[in-house]
């Protein structure tokens, strides 16, 4: 059954003319396989909002993908003060997309728990995502970041393929406890623009495959970082 569903999605995407649809998904499968990274992040504890499995994957393409990061996906966290040692992204693709580029721009935005993501706190431009298997398999991709945070933040990425078909999909948990999923929607494509819950487009979205390796600060470290920030506010 999984092979039949995958084939149907491949046929759908290849049959559509360029620009016919800006929002695409992999369809629902409840028996996906998770493939771990070849080498995990050396620091921090892996934290994510999904339940360890994924039932679909989402992507923006054509007019849905535009600079600076329209078409991005993210997941919000409130972990207190600490360091984001690495990002973790769970991704998948289709057989007809195997030889497309696999890089991304990875971001940490402020906020994303009680309000929409805001300013960029840190980013890594262009790392390759080397673990993107065919759906219904999902691969974990770890990216070193080293970003200090003291408040809620959103971890996410932007696939840099403006005005082109999607290269790969962000895995989505559709039946877990839920988290704080986000996607940044381009204006003028038929949806509310800016940062939105992916459920605006994909109704069953509960959380996105965007996690963090997090190192909690000790109280002394938190006070020192707070003092440094206070110096720049004067």
Helix (H) or strand (E) holding 224: helix 219-233
pTM for the predicted model, two decimal places: 0.86
C-alpha–C-alpha distance, residues 206 and 172, integer Å? 7
Neighbours of 39 (CB within 10 A): 7
C-alpha–C-alpha distance, residues 152 and 154, integer Å? 7
pLDDT of amino acid 100: 72
C-alpha–C-alpha distance, residues 181 and 25, integer Å? 16
pLDDT of amino acid 23: 98
The tens-digit pLDDT sequence of the chain (234 residues) is: 333 343 334 333 433 333 459 999 999 999 999 999 988 898 999 999 999 999 999 999 999 999 999 999 999 999 999 999 999 999 999 988 766 789 999 999 999 999 999 999 999 999 999 999 999 999 999 999 999 999 999 999 999 999 999 999 999 999 999 999 999 999 999 999 999 999 999 999 999 999 999 999 976 554 554 555 554 444
> Domain locations in the chain?
22-233
> For residues 206 and 198, is the Cβ–Cβ distance under 8 A?
no
> For residues 112 and 140, is the Cβ–Cβ distance under 8 A?
no
Which one, of 26, 176, 162, 46, lies nearest residue 97 by Cα?
A: 26
pLDDT of amino acid 58: 98
Alpha carbon 200 to its chain's center = 16
pLDDT of amino acid 5: 40
Helix (H) or strand (E) holding 5: helix 2-15
> For residues 73 and 198, is the Cβ–Cβ distance under 8 A?
yes
Q: Which residues of 188-203 are buried (b: 16+ CB within 10 A; e: fewer)?
A: ebebeeebbebeebbe
């Amino acid at each position: 059954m999984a092979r039949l569903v995958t084939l149907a999605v491949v046929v759908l995407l290849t049959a559509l003319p360029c620009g016919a649809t800006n929002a695409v998904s992999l369809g629902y499968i409840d028996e996906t396989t998770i493939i771990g990274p070849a080498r995990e992040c050396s620091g921090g504890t892996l934290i994510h909002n999904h339940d360890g499995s994924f039932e679909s994957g989402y992507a923006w393409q054509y007019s849905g993908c535009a600079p600076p990061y329209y078409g991005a996906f993210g997941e919000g966290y409130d972990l207190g003060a600490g360091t984001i040692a690495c990002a973790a992204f769970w991704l998948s693709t289709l057989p007809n997309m195997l030889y497309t580029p696999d890089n991304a721009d990875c971001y940490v935005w402020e906020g994303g728990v009680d309000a929409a993501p805001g300013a960029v706190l840190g980013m890594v431009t262009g790392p390759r995502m080397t673990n993107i298997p065919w759906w219904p398999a999902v691969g974990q991709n770890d990216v070193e970041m080293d970003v200090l945070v003291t408040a809620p933040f959103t971890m996410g990425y932007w696939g840099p393929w403006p005005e082109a078909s999607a290269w790969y999909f962000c895995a989505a948990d559709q039946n877990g406890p839920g988290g704080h999923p986000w996607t940044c929607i381009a204006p003028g494509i038929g949806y509310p623009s800016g940062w939105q819950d992916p459920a605006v487009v994909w109704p069953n979205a509960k959380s996105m495959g965007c996690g963090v390796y997090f190192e909690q600060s000790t109280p002394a470290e938190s006070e020192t970082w707070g003092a440094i920030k206070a110096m720049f506010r004067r």
